[in-house]
Amino acid sequence: MSAASFRVLLKMTVHPGMGEDFIQAWAEHSAVVEEHPANRGHSLATSTEDDDVFYIVSDWSSEREFREFEDSPAHLEHRARLHPYRSSGSIAFLELVAEAPATGAARSRA
């Protein structure tokens, strides 16, 4: 099991044609998440079925620490910078119960 125990999965649909600008804005301001001591990593992925749908996954050491970050001025500013791109979204909160490390070919490609 990794040091993370709490995962946040955000599905965000951006306004048509704004995907590249959204990616740039996310990258420019992702340090706000990366620098938080409870954050264990985060990533941005795009749907292979819809160019306007993105998934943001972030891992945290605990739900409590994520919730503290979620209400912080730094996070509220980060969210405000991404809001103009968003047309809709949903969020899921996940408690990690098991994790399997990569083995074999998967590990050799890493």
pLDDT band at 1 (very low <50, low <70, confident <90, very high): very low
Instruction: Tell me what the pLDDT averaged over the chain comes to.
Output: 90
**pTM of the shown model:** 0.84
Q: What does the pLDDT look like over 11-59, one tens digit per residue? A: 999 999 999 999 999 999 888 899 999 999 999 999 999 999 999 999 9
Q: What does the pLDDT look like over 49-69, one tens digit per residue? A: 999 999 999 999 999 999 999
d(CA 3, CA 31): 20
**Residue 59 burial class via C-beta count within 10 angstroms: exposed 0-12, middle 13-18, buried 19 and up:** buried
- Residues 71-86: what's their mean pLDDT? 92
